Structure 1
Amino acid sequence: MRLSADLKAFQSRIGHEFRRAEFLVRAVTHPSIASATRPDNQRLEFLGDRVLGLVMAEALLSADQAASEGQLAPRLNALVRKETCAEVAREFGLGDVLKLGRSEMLSGGRRKEALLGDAIEAVIAAVYLDAGFETARALVLRLWGARIGAVEPDARDAKSALQEWAQARGMPPPAYTETSREGPDHQPVFTVGVVLENGAQEKARAGSKRAAEQMAAAMLLKRLEAGDD
C-alpha cells in the first residue's frame, strides 16, 4: 500500500516511517467512513491507550523514584487524559490527515477533542504493531516531550478535584449544564456552568463541552480553595 502525500508528511512530523503503511491508514480512519474493506481505528485506539499508559507510568516512575502511588496516579491521569492527547494530536497536525465521513467533516471533526485524542492513541498502536514496543515508547516520549517533566507534582483533573472537594464536605457531586452553544457547526463554542449544592457556581467557554467543564471546574475550585465561598 502506498501512502498519500499528506500521510507521508505526517510520518515525517512524528518521526516514524511505516514499513506497513496499512497500519497508519487504519489509524487515521474514523468510524464515520469505515466499511467492510476499510476498517476503522477503534481497535487500534484501544491498544494505543494501553501502550501510552505503560510508557507514561514507566517515565513517571523513573523521573521520581520517591513518589508514592497516590502521588503518581494524578500525574499519570494528567498526561494520558483526552485533553492532553488532543493537544499532542493538534501539535503534529493529525487532524489534517484524518479520514472522515462527510457529516463528521462538516461538523468540525478534525478539531474535535475526543476524536483527536482517540486518533493519536491509534497512531501509537500503529507504530507499536509496525515496529515494536521500544519504537512506540520512543515515539510517545518524543511526542509528549516536555509535558512529562512539566506535569505538576500534585496534578489533578479539575472535575475530579472539585468533586472530591464537594464530597469531603458532605455535598453531592457538582452539576454541569450547557447553557449555550454559539458559532457554526464546524467551529462551535460551548458555555457550560457548574454549580454546587451550596450555591457556589462558575461558567466557562471553550471549543468543546469537555474543555468548558474542566475550565469551569478549575475556576470554581480555585475560588473555593481561596476561601471566597
Structure 2
Amino acid sequence: MTGLIRSPLVLARNTMRASNIIRASTPTLNRTFLINVKSAKKSKVQQQQEEKSSSPISETGAEAATAAQDSKYRIETPSPAVVAFAHRLKLNKLKDQTLLMRIVTHPSYERVGIQTNARLDTLGDKALHMFVMEYLHVKYPKLPTNVLKEAVEVYTRTSTLELMAKEFGVEDVARWVRSKPDAGHQLSLKTVKASVVRAIVGAIYIDQGFLKAREFVHAHFLSRDFKIESLLQIDEPKHYLSVLMKRLGRERPVARMLAETGRTSKAPIFIVGVYSGTEKIGEGFGSSIKMAEFRANADALKKYYMEELKDFGLPSDTEKEGAIYTPTKIGDTEVVV
C-alpha cells in the first residue's frame, strides 16, 4: 500500500516540478525571442545606414582625391605687374583668378607645384584659328582656299602674336627659362610671347565661354587689316581670267588701251583696261603695254576673288540668345587651269 500511496504523491510532486520548470523557462524563451527580434532589427538598421552612408563616403573620397590632386599645385598670388597686365586686357574679370599666373607661365618654367600654360596655349591656338577662319570665310566668300589658309596663318603665326604681345606687355610678366647652351632646341622669347597670347584666348574661352573669347579675338586680332590681295599671286592672269569668264558664262575678256604718255620717251606710261563685253572688269598701268595688260588682268581677278561682304552674320552668332543667323552663300571654287 505504501508503494501505491507514494505513487500518486510522486506523480504529484513530479507534476509540480514540471510546472515550475515550465513557468521558469517561459520568460527565458520570451527573452530569447525578443532579443533575437531586436538583433534582427538592429542589423537591418545598420545595413540601411551603411547603404545610406556608402554614397556620401564615396563622394567624400572622390572629393578628397580631387583635393589631393589639386593640392599638388600651390595657389600663387599675382604680382602687381601681373595685376596691371590683367587690367589692361580685362582679364581681371576672369572668374578663376588663379588662371592669371598660369597664363604667363611657360612650360619651360619647371617648378614643383607650379601650373604652366601648356593646355591653355593649345586650347587658345585652336580657338584662335577657328574664329579667324570663320570670319574670313564669311567675309570673303570667293577667296581661293589656299589664299584663305594663308590669310589665317598671317593672323595666327608666331611673328604676328609676338607683335601683339609687345603691345600687351607680355615680356614684363612672362615666366620662362632659357634653354641651356648645349640644348638641341633653343627656346626664344618670341615663342614664349606667342604662347602667352594664345593662353589668354584659351583662358577666356574656358572661363567665360565661347562668345567672350570670340569678342576678344575680334577686338584684338581681326580689327587689324592687312592686304590679303597681296597673297593672291597668279602667274598667268590673262589665261586664268579667260577660263574664269568662260565658266561664269560671260564674254571673253578683251584688253583696250585707255591712255598713254611718252611712248617714244625713256619713261613711257600705258594704261590698259580689260573688258568683258561693255563692262570694264580690270585696269592696270606699266612702262610697257604688255606690263599694263598683265596688271589689268590681275586686277580683274583680284576684284572678283576679293569681293567683300559688308553686312554679314557669323555661324557662331547662334550662340547668342535670341539671335537669328542667316547663312551666306558659299562662294564658287577657284578656277583650275
Q: TM-score, normalised by structure 2?
A: 0.41
Q: Tell me the residue number matched to 1:64.
A: 140
Q: Tell me the residue number matched to 1:12.
A: 87
Paired residue type of 2:215: A
Paired residues for 1:79-118 under 5 Å: 79-101=155-177, 103=178, 112-118=189-195
Q: Is the CA contact (8 Å cut-off) linking 2:174 and 2:192 kept in structure 1?
A: no
Within the candidate set 136, 144, 147, 2:213 is matched to 136
**Is the counterpart of residue 54 in structure 1 residue 138 in structure 2?**
no
User: How far, CA to CA, are the matches of 1:22 and 1:77 in structure 2?
Assistant: 31
Paired residues for 1:1-229 under 5 Å: 2-17=77-92, 18-101=94-177, 103=178, 112-147=189-224, 149-155=225-231
Q: Tell me the residue number matched to 1:195.
A: none
User: How far, CA to CA, are the matches of 2:187 and 2:87 in structure 1?
Assistant: 20
Report how many aligned residue pairs link the two structures.
152
User: How far, CA to CA, are the matches of 2:152 and 2:122 in structure 1?
Assistant: 17
User: How far, CA to CA, are the matches of 1:131 and 1:151 in structure 2?
Assistant: 32
Structure 1 residue runs of 4+, over 4 Å off? Answer: none
- Cα RMSD (Å): 2.6
User: How far, CA to CA, are the matches of 1:78 and 1:48 in structure 2?
Assistant: 16
> C-alpha offsets along residues 132-180 of structure 1, whole Å, 9 cap, x if unaligned?
1111111112122532x32422438xxxx9xxx9xxxxxxxxxxxxxxx
Paired residue type of 2:87: S
Q: Is the CA contact (8 Å cut-off) linking 1:45 and 1:119 kept in structure 2?
A: yes
> C-alpha offsets along residues 191-210 of structure 1, whole Å, 9 cap, x if unaligned?
xxxxxxxxxxxxxxxxxxxx
Report SS of the residue matched to 1:32. coil
Report SS of the residue matched to 2:231. coil
Distance 1:66 1:90, change over 3 A: same
User: How far, CA to CA, are the matches of 2:227 and 2:78 in structure 1?
Assistant: 36
Report SS of the residue matched to 2:228. coil
Q: Is the CA contact (8 Å cut-off) linking 1:53 and 1:80 kept in structure 2?
A: yes
Asked which structure has the greater CA Rg, the reply is: 2
Q: How far 1:3 sits from its partner (Å)? A: 3.0
Q: Is the CA contact (8 Å cut-off) linking 2:176 and 2:192 kept in structure 1?
A: no
Percent identity of equivalent pairs: 26
Q: How far 1:86 sits from its partner (Å)? A: 0.9
Distance 1:89 1:111, change over 3 A: farther
Report SS of the residue matched to 2:134. helix
Q: How far 1:110 sits from its partner (Å)? A: 11
Q: How far 1:22 sits from its partner (Å)? A: 1.6
Distance 1:135 1:71, change over 3 A: same
Q: How far 1:61 sits from its partner (Å)? A: 1.6
Q: TM-score, normalised by structure 1?
A: 0.59
Q: Higher relative CO (CA 8 A, sep ≥ 6), structure 1 or 2?
A: 1
Paired residue type of 1:11: A
User: How far, CA to CA, are the matches of 1:24 and 1:124 in structure 2?
Assistant: 12
Q: Is the CA contact (8 Å cut-off) linking 2:121 and 2:196 kept in structure 1?
A: yes
